[in-house]
Amino acid sequence: MPIRCIAIDDEPLALRQLSSYIEKTPFLQLVAACCSALDAGERLREQEADLLFVDINMPDLNGIDFVRGLSPRPMVIFTTAYSEYAIEGFRVDAIDYLLKPISYAAFLHSAEKARRQYQLMQAAAERPAATSIFVRSEYKTLQIDIERILYVESRSEYVRIVTDSGRPVMTLGSLRSYEEKLPADRFLRIHRSYIVNLSRIVAVERKHVVLPQDHVLPIGELYEERFRRYLRSRSLD
């Protein structure tokens, strides 16, 4: 099964080149070519994608901010003419970073990285669903029951896991890794800093969710539409 791709670039020539590279690569499938991040956001609401090729320096909404706001987040390969963006790109767990002008050889090398990651993800999806996760904290490895997690919070280079029992657990890591680790049908990213256990939501008040023990979390603007779709799918109205 080919990897479904969306190419995003505000420069028409660069977008055509990306699109042609995707179309000539046997294990990739181009499902959309978008001239802005806003356009790509609309397409992602209609069309699922496994991999995004995203230009960083775009008007209105740059590629890095666009990717940060996606939940769930497809695999990402950034493209740009400015090498200083590389470190920022990898902070959002990009598969790779392509510097313009892009040769097909460089493109294919990055695409192969994405294919290996995709194969690992497919294999993981076929395994039985886990009921707990293991995390390293304070020189110990702790087992945490997934159902007891209320929410997961990003704090710089750390992740804070809040459960309904005991004190929160702090561990090194990224929120993106927990998006991949936790069951997607039970956990949803509602803010750039928060993933919430959907089954533990007590109430929704304007742009906040209320959880047990008086925890109140904000709903980020970039995540609001997906969260509202989830609410509508569960509503009896």
pLDDT at position 212 is 93
pLDDT at position 59 is 87
Q: Give ∠ CA 96-102-103 in degrees, rounded to 5.
A: 110
pLDDT at position 235 is 74
Tokens encoding 73 = 């987040």
The domains found in the chain, sorted by start residue, are 3-125 (3.40.50.2300), 132-234 (2.40.50.1020)
Edge to edge, what strands does the sheet with 203-205 contain? Answer: 203-205, 208-211, 215-218
- For the residues 109-127, what does the mean pLDDT come to? 87
Q: How confident is the model at residue 88 (pLDDT cuts 50, 70, 90)?
A: low
* pLDDT at residue 127 greater than cutoff 80: no
Cα(46)–Cα(234) distance, rounded to whole angstroms?
20
pLDDT at position 90 is 54
* pLDDT at residue 120 greater than cutoff 70: yes
Lowest mean pLDDT among 51-65, 94-108, 126-140: 126-140
Which of the given ranges, 117-121, 139-143, 214-218, has the highest pLDDT on average? 214-218
